[in-house]
């Protein structure tokens, strides 16, 4: 709630821009050696049982729908999905008749922890607005793991999420992918092995925060969209040079260059180790960005917000970038003026990668409903996407955009048992996530207060969680 407000305020031009998603960056384990990452994941799965979820409508996340289906979880992994599974000895069987089972939802655009609740100034850690290029910052260093928003997201079936820096900067810094498990430290939430990401931003936010900072922010370039583009290119030229020196040193050509946090991250992008997640609303700007990426030899993994993706869905499909979208946000600023509720189905229909994202501590609690709205709006114009296909907007596609689709994002044998049991069809407004499993461990139960986490901040306050 608070973040959304912040965004709207930002949009009203009063403050900085914060409505972006973070990008993540360098490798946890991938790409860079463990030694190269000073903040390794310490996440380990919580204890789990052998569980057979039986008699449910199962959406496997890769396009399959199984009536009277079962999902078998062993040692924290999915081991079997089908219609006639029998429970191994000692297994706990959950009779899920009438219920639906899906992969856990993955939100690839959240600011939880970086803009936590309560949204007081002291908690505003999502934008390092000291300069337009801050590729050197890592959002994990801003995340407060005690943000109550994580628990509300869990109650909405979110099992993994990407936290991104805000969209004030051209280069906002590294994002990070988390398991949505309450923890004392951020390291204990970090998705093991997930590649880092990097957040970039197009359009109104960077040029407003810097050029037109109204005296409250640094001022200076960029003042314009052309200034934005010059800023990106200038940084990539430096990064290209830095990478050249790194490569040369690696090949025995002398000493490596002096360490530079900003250029290390940018070089990681050029190496393909760090995935670019870019806040961009307008179609014409996305097209410019795709050209810049070709100029410097990197790839934009996903455009975020992307409210005009429907205008260039063909080009996005050809390039191979995902669009990470709201169902229906529009009209709050000029570059969001052309938002339409059919954006997601139109992008999907063009064969491009569609993702439903939140950018909100409210929206993240019901991304299934956001998908349902887009699904319904598509259906009314003849884009009739089966629910089992549409679920890819919520789990598999975001997993791909984060480089974790080999590990999670669908109910396939060998994958992490990140699973949600819904009270009914999750495209219904009335559906509730009843049980949420992460790596096979049940981390949430709607009917059991003992399985409903309460963050430190909430203790001793009248709420102590959502529904006490």
Partner 1 sequence: MIRRLLLSLAALAATSVAAAQPVAIYGETVWTGTSQGTITDGVVVINNGRIVSVGPASGGVPSGATEVRAQWVTPGLISAFSRTGLSEVSGVDDSNDSVAGSSPFSAALNAADGFNPETTAIAVTRRDGFTRLAVAPNARSTLFGGQGFLADTSGLPGSVFRERVFAFVVLGERGASIAGGSRPAAWAALRGAFDDVRFFGARYMTHNDGNVLTRMDAQALMPAAKGDQLMLFQASRASDLDAIMDFKEANPSLRVAIVGADEGWMVAGRLAELDIPVIVDAFSNLPSSFSQLAATSENAKRLSEAGVTVAIVTLDNDSHLARLATQVAGNAVANGMSFDAAMEALTTAPAEIFGMTGLGVLAPGARADVVAWDGDPLEAASAPSAVYIDGDAQPLETRQTKLRDRYRTLDESERPLAYKH
β-bridge partners, 341: none
Q: Which of 38, 252, 254, 462 binds partner 1 (CB under 8 A)?
A: 462
∠131-137-138 over CA atoms, to 5°? 150
- In which element (H, E) is residue 265 found? helix 261-270
Between residues 150 and 242, which has the closer beta carbon with respect to partner 1? 150
Q: Which of 136, 260, 328, 445 binds partner 1 (CB under 8 A)?
A: 328
Q: Which of 20, 128, 285, 342 binds partner 1 (CB under 8 A)?
A: 342
We find the least distance from the C-beta atom of residue 433 to partner 1, in angstroms, to be: 10
Q: Per CB under 8 A, does 325 bind partner 1? A: no
Given the rule CB under 8 A, which of 49-57, 285-293, 337-345, 405-413 is the region that contacts partner 1?
A: 337-345
Cα maximum dimension of the chain: 69
DSSP sequence for 264-288: HHHHHHHTTSSEEEEEE--HHHHHH
We find the least distance from the C-beta atom of residue 329 to partner 1, in angstroms, to be: 7
b vs e for 161-183, b when ≥16 Cβ sit within 10 Å of the residue's Cβ?
Answer: bbbbbbbbbbbbbbbbbbbbbbb
Q: Which of 164, 416, 431, 443 binds partner 1 (CB under 8 A)?
A: 431
Crossing angle of the two packed helices 283-296 and 225-250, in degrees rounded to 10: 20
User: Judged by CB under 8 A, how many residues of this single chain contact partner 1?
Assistant: 64
CB-CB contact of 310 with 342 (8 Å) = yes
Residue identified by tokens 């996340």 is 61
DSSP sequence for 87-101: PPTTPEEEE-TT-EE
Q: Per CB under 8 A, does 313 bind partner 1? A: yes
We find the least distance from the C-beta atom of residue 120 to partner 1, in angstroms, to be: 7
Q: Per CB under 8 A, does 359 bind partner 1? A: no
**CA 152 to CA 149: how far, in whole Å?**
5
3-class secondary structure, 208:
helix
Given the rule CB under 8 A, which of 40-48, 138-146, 359-367, 435-443 is the region that contacts partner 1?
A: 359-367
Q: Per CB under 8 A, does 12 bind partner 1? A: yes
Q: Per CB under 8 A, does 188 bind partner 1? A: no
Which of 368, 349, 372 minimizes the C-alpha distance to 358?
A: 368
3-class secondary structure, 240:
helix
Token readout for 381 is 């114009």
Q: Which of 346, 367, 385, 396 binds partner 1 (CB under 8 A)?
A: 346
Which of 443, 451, 445, 437 minimizes the C-alpha distance to 76?
A: 437
Q: Per CB under 8 A, does 467 bind partner 1? A: yes
Between residues 307 and 396, which has the closer beta carbon with respect to partner 1? 307
Q: Per CB under 8 A, does 376 bind partner 1? A: yes
Q: Which of 84, 121, 258, 429 binds partner 1 (CB under 8 A)?
A: 429
Q: Which of 43, 210, 303, 310 binds partner 1 (CB under 8 A)?
A: 310
Q: Per CB under 8 A, does 65 bind partner 1? A: no
Q: Which of 281, 375, 391, 444 binds partner 1 (CB under 8 A)?
A: 375
**Contacts of 448 by beta carbon, 8 Å cutoff, 6+ apart:** none
Between residues 70 and 349, which has the closer beta carbon with respect to partner 1? 349
Q: Which of 293, 369, 392, 395 binds partner 1 (CB under 8 A)?
A: 369
CB-CB contact of 30 with 73 (8 Å) = no
Q: Per CB under 8 A, does 319 bind partner 1? A: no
Q: Which of 102, 265, 358, 365 binds partner 1 (CB under 8 A)?
A: 365
CB-CB contact of 220 with 19 (8 Å) = no
Between residues 359 and 439, which has the closer beta carbon with respect to partner 1? 359
DSSP sequence for 104-138: PEEEEEE-TTTSPSS--GGG--S--TTSSB-TT-B
Q: Per CB under 8 A, does 1 bind partner 1? A: yes
Q: Per CB under 8 A, does 76 bind partner 1? A: no
Q: Per CB under 8 A, does 117 bind partner 1? A: yes
- Cα-trace Rg, the chain: 21
Neighbours of 156 (CB within 10 A): 24
Q: Per CB under 8 A, does 391 bind partner 1? A: no
CB-CB contact of 38 with 79 (8 Å) = no
- State the binding string over 255-294 for partner 1 (x if CB under 8 A, else -): ----------------------------------------
- Contacting residues toward partner 1, per CB under 8 A: 1-2, 4-5, 8, 11-13, 117-120, 148-149, 152, 310-314, 328-334, 336-342, 346, 350, 361-362, 365-366, 369-370, 372-373, 375-377, 379-381, 427-432, 457-458, 461-463, 466-468
């Amino acid at each position: 709630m608070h973040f959304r407000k912040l965004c709207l305020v930002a949009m009203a031009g009063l403050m900085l821009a914060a409505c972006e998603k973070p990008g993540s960056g360098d490798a946890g384990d991938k790409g860079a050696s463990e030694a190269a990452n000073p903040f390794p994941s310490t996440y380990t799965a919580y204890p789990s049982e052998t569980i057979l979820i039986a008699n449910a409508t199962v959406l496997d996340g890769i396009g399959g729908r199984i009536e009277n289906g079962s999902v078998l979880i062993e040692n924290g992994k999915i081991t079997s999905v089908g219609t006639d599974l029998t429970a191994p000895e000692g297994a706990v069987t959950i009779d899920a008749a009438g219920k639906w089972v899906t992969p856990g939802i993955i939100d690839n655009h959240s600011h939880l922890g970086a803009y936590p609740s309560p949204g007081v100034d002291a908690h505003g850690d999502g934008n390092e607005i000291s300069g337009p290029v801050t590729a050197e910052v890592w959002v994990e260093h801003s995340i407060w793991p005690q943000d109550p928003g994580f628990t509300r997201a869990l109650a909405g079936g979110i099992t993994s999420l990407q936290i991104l820096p805000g969209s004030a900067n051209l280069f906002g810094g590294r994002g990070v992918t988390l398991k949505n498990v309450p923890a004392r430290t951020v390291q204990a939430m970090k998705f093991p092995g997930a590649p880092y990401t990097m957040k970039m931003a197009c359009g109104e936010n960077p040029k407003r925060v810097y050029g037109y900072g109204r005296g409250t922010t640094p001022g200076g370039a960029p003042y314009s969209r052309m200034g934005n583009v010059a800023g990106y290119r200038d940084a990539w030229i430096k990064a290209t040079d830095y990478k050249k020196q790194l490569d040369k040193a690696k090949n025995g050509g002398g000493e490596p260059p002096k360490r530079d946090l900003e250029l290390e991250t940018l070089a990681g992008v050029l190496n393909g180790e760090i995935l670019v997640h870019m806040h961009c609303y307008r179609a014409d700007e996305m097209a410019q960005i795709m050209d810049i990426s070709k100029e410097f030899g990197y790839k934009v993994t996903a455009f975020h917000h992307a409210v005009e993706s429907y205008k260039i869905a063909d080009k996005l499909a050809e390039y191979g970038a995902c669009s990470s979208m709201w169902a229906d946000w529009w009209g709050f600023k000029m570059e969001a003026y052309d938002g339409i509720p059919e954006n997601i189905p139109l992008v999907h229909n063009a064969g491009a990668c569609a993702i439903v994202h939140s950018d909100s501590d409210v929206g993240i609690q019901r991304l299934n409903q956001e998908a349902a709205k887009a699904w319904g709006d598509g259906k009314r114009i003849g884009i009739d996407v089966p629910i089992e296909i549409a679920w890819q907007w919520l789990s598999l596609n975001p997993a791909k955009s984060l480089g974790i689709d080999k590990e999670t994002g669908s109910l396939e044998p060998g994958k992490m048992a990140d699973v949600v049991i819904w009270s009914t069809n999750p495209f219904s407004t009335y559906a509730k996530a009843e049980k949420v499993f992460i790596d096979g461990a049940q981390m949430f139960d709607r009917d059991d207060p003992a399985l409903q986490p309460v963050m430190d901040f909430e203790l001793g306050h009248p709420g102590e969680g959502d529904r006490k």
